[in-house]
Amino acid sequence: QVQVVESGGGLVQVGGSLRLSCAASGRIFSINVMGWYRQAPGMQRDLVAQITSGGSTTYADSVKGRFTISRDNAKNTVYLQMNSLKPEDTAVYYCAADLSFSATDHTSFRYWGKGTQVTVSS
């Protein structure tokens, strides 16, 4: 059974930092892209940052210079270091992982975690 599980959310004051972690487990052959999305109440789910297996990264403009995404391929884990947090960063943060299950079939399937709440208080 494949699982994608986030951890590390919580309550932090403006200007503070949090580190989110997300681990994928199960009979996975490979992981292509891993990423973080966030969704505030009444809003759509938006990309925050993503990273390929080769280490190429993409960030939303709103988090550039404040957030850093990284991954440990050996642990099937992706991290999101969030610094200089703002109230507008408050949201549920979701991890997404594009997983492949076969050496001969490179089709990938997107799996989502259940989300972790990040609240930035002023």
Whether 85 has a pLDDT exceeding 90, the answer reads yes
Whether 105 has a pLDDT exceeding 90, the answer reads no
Quote the pLDDT of residue 106: 81
Residues 4 and 88: their CA atoms lie apart, in Å, by 25
Whether 96 has a pLDDT exceeding 90, the answer reads yes
For the chain, the DSSP string reads --EEEEE--EEEETT--EEEEEEEESS-SEEEEEEEEEE-TTS--EEEEEE-TT--EEE-GGGTTTEEEEEEGGGTEEEEEE-S--GGG-EEEEEEEEEE--SS----EEEE---EEEEEE-
30-64 pLDDT per residue, tens: 999 999 999 999 999 999 999 999 999 999 999 99
